[in-house]
Amino acid sequence: MLRVTPAKTLVLLVLAGGLCAQTVVLSPKSFGAYGDGMADDTMAIQAAIDALPTDGVLDGEGLQYRVSALRLKSRMTMQRFRLRALGGTRNLMAPVTIDGRTRRGETPKQGIVIRDVHVDGNRANQLEIETPSEEDGGRHCFRVMGRVSNLRIERSSGTYCATDGLLLGGMHDTASDDPDQLPMQNITVTASDFSWNRRDGIAFEGVQNLNIIDTTITNNGVTIGAGGASHGNHCAHVNRTCFASGLWYENDFDAPGGGLDTVNVIGATITGNQTRAVYFYTPANPRRAGVETRRNIRFSNTRLDAGRVPVPGTQLAVQFSTHPANDGLGAAYGDIVFQNCRIEGTLALRGVAGLAVLGGAIETAASHAGFAAYSDALTLANVARGDKTFATHLTPDGGTAVTVRFTRR
């Protein structure tokens, strides 16, 4: 790698008879950033980002920087930063922002690496947040929107942010649920931490091939400190009732474009969040043209629980849901597998065709291991579940012949 100042330019070296381009590494300090954790370094760091050539590296040298919102571009690496969000009242501000919304004049973003970047959202100093509102304030740690492909986030963290730790919002930037047409493609999050955020740890929609590996998602959606009705320390709430989960999928419209295909959650810990570890919801009518089943969803070697305030009676740890208006119209979700997971709570299914729990354990004080409505083809094989069964009601198409298969362990 070639470390340069703004006055220097990219050079090419001839090695072994070939042409070899050296990677440019820029420091934000060369553009006037202080990195002292006190000054507002937003403009200086943004200038460094804008100056990066294709495939360049922005290296924060492990220093702490106070920022509002940094806008990343395609084919760059951001590494070794400690970022602290500015306080105040401005919504839709995230220290790390990737905006690929083509319908708003932005360009698709691709080929971005975020490595060893740690964001502190400064919840205690985030004020006047209204919920519900656009993105419930939109003061995420990492805000990724629109058409984005080949994004990798590794050994990073987003904590104490006033909305989500990581938002992956396709924003219906495409109008098809065809996997190859979904706005977000090939997103990998590994060895990272998204905890103690005011809303969700990771929220996503409109994604094909999302991989969350060896990542911690804990204590999200909870009130910390003294709280307050419009204060960042208070949980995201409606009528002062806290909501939010560790992992949250929701597309907002009865229309294609917010679908989902291929999600792998491997070796994660999703515990201690406000309610539920995992929540999936879609209002999309399965019979609407262009709407496709949300499918190929895998959890393996992952721990999930019912959260700090479990849903009374049902003790939900995992919930797949759809709007009741879609009951009997077909499956919203299919091909879901939990393999060797520890589920401290129950599974609730609505509009699911094909779910398997293979190995691991379901540990709950509730009356059943799970509750299923308008769902079918459910399998529990070699799962320690205390002989608790699934309560079922009708198939996705409204039929009465629900298939549930148990193999004792």
Dihedral sign for Cα 285, 287, 291, 297, please: positive
Indicate the fold that domain 24-309 takes in CATH.
Pectate Lyase C-like (2.160.20)
pTM (two decimals)? 0.94
Distance of CA 278 to the CA centre of its chain: 11
Largest interatomic CA distance in the chain:
73
Question: What pLDDT is stored for residue 229 in this prediction?
Answer: 62
User: How big is the CA angle at 44 (ends 43 and 50), to the nearest 5 degrees?
Assistant: 85
Question: What pLDDT is stored for residue 346 in this prediction?
Answer: 97
pLDDT digits (tens, 9 = 90+) for 305-363: 999 999 888 999 999 999 999 999 999 999 999 999 999 999 999 999 999 999 999 99
DSSP assignment letter at 49: H
pLDDT digits (tens, 9 = 90+) for 67-77: 999 999 999 99
Domain segments of the chain as ranges: 24-309
Reduced to 3 states, what is the DSSP secondary structure of residue 227? coil
Residues of the chain with pLDDT under 70: 1-21, 227-230, 409
Q: How far apart are the first and last CA of the chain?
A: 54
pLDDT-above-70 percentage for the chain: 94
Q: Which of 364, 361, 360, 351 is nearest to 402 (CA)?
A: 351
Question: What pLDDT is stored for residue 129 in this prediction?
Answer: 86
